[in-house]
Structure 1
Amino acid sequence: MSEQLFSLHSWPRAIVHIDGDAFFTSCEEAIHPELRGKPLITGGERGIVACASYAAKKIGVARGVPLHEARKICPGLIILPSDYETYSLFSRRIFSIMRRFTPDVEEYSIDEAFADITGMRRALHSSYEEIALRMKQDIERELGITVSVGLSITKVLAKVASKHQKPAGMTVIKGREIPDYLRNLPVEKIWGIGNATTNYLAKMGIRYALEFARLPEKTVLQKFTKPGVEIWQELRGKSVHPVTAEEKSSYASISKTKTFAPPTNDAEYLFAQLMRNMESACIKARRYKLAPHKI
């Protein structure tokens, strides 16, 4: 099937995705430069690894594992309690820097955001690539942390791009280049595709993002629900998830989920992930000055 099914226009839209690299430990390293390059984790107060520095990851320390297991992997591991108040300050600074380039910034999580820079080339006297790079450079210079940046024509593709050269990389996926980046990308790496959809696609003989994106529209509409159809559209270069700059002022509920691939019945690991999800939900609740009535 022809790859010309994808967008033939380089920039029908220009969406930037900024993703902090090992964000919590990067913040600690920015505050304490003597820790840079050392195996470091946060989460000591909870007994689990909330975030591992890249030096710790290289040794084999993974996010979510119990501390006693992390110590076995790396006896010299530096363990710090999580300082969410400080991490939130860094987060707000990131979003503030991004808004220098466009008002259309969507705060996706404490260490992630999208920015719609469509139409800003003339105003900023720069190409879209230059705008995204300046955004990255300003964040890294002013905050002393590194971020990975993806620039593409939809939110899903921008997120694919930001993961492509982690850490501290920048990847640009223009409309005409979409097939090159999807060809060897496993479907489970696509934002929004969980374990159930991955297994469903596997039964259809689909393992890679390009295979999914090449499916005929009729097949997609018959076999997938609305979220799956929208991911398919975004992978093909059609923007259906706009950057939402307007923050919600209140929430009826706050939830954080985790899909396990493969499934696990390891009670200790499940508890560690539960604690991590609860912490993430609490960070968001504190930001909006909310308190739970029911958990």
Structure 2
Amino acid sequence: METPEAESYFRDLYELGFDPSIPLEEKITQAISVGRDRLSVQYGVLSYTGEGEYEVIGSTIESGDYAAGTVYDVDTTWCRHVIDSQEILAVADAGDSQYRDDIAREETNLQCYIGAPILVDGEVYGTLCYSGNEPREAPFTDDEKRFVRLLSRWIGYELEREKHYATLDAQNERLDEFAGVLTHDLRNPLTAARGYTELVSERVADDDAEHLKTALASLDRMETLITETLALARDGADVGERDAVQLGTVAESAWATVQPEGTLVVESDREISADRTRLQQLFENLFATPTNTVVIL
């Protein structure tokens, strides 16, 4: 059965994690402060150690040593034990523990410490730790250890999600740039082809002009595909609004555009809900594959 103290810890975590209106940086700042207050210690620090140094990312210390933005040799910190083991470390009284001669006690003058690793994508990002210049009167309880562990996991999850969103945004930006360049490079020769085809169609006999009209229709279709490809790249995979379309009618329209060798047989038709343009493009891709007969059932 959970103690009232444990229930209050978990309520703190719930309130931090499920308020979408709070920006991530502010959430982390609140988390560090809440942990310090709940544990009744002097300091709360979030560190980044991915580059081999101990960089303070967030801190309840406003200025001086271990304020946000300061950097230290990780080998002189208590957190190095957490990084190496990837486990929580709790020391209520450093002078009365196996860590009495630890370099971190001498370098930091911290006499009590509890810290847990922050993992992002399975790798150690850094640590979340709480500490004080005086020993604690009582050891850290199991509830307090669980609270710090869960708090560190929550921060790791939030950092991981932020990282993934940033990566996705960068990928979308590159895709958008690529799509713009690609469509520009495709439209230039397409415009030239349309212009010359129109010019020639005005100077040939009617029978030949009909063939050129078919070519112009195909060029118009290419222009539509380029525009839709650009929209898809920029807007994502959403197919947009769907309409009721006749499957056979769309197939026949695609067949007329591609004009492949062979025979199209529509044995039965049906109405479906689809994006007509993209459905026709699907059929065109299918019909462009060499075959003798395509049957739409």
- Tell me the TM-score normalized by structure 1: 0.21
The structure whose Rg is larger is: 2
The higher relative CO (CA closer than 8 Å, separation ≥ 6) is in: 1
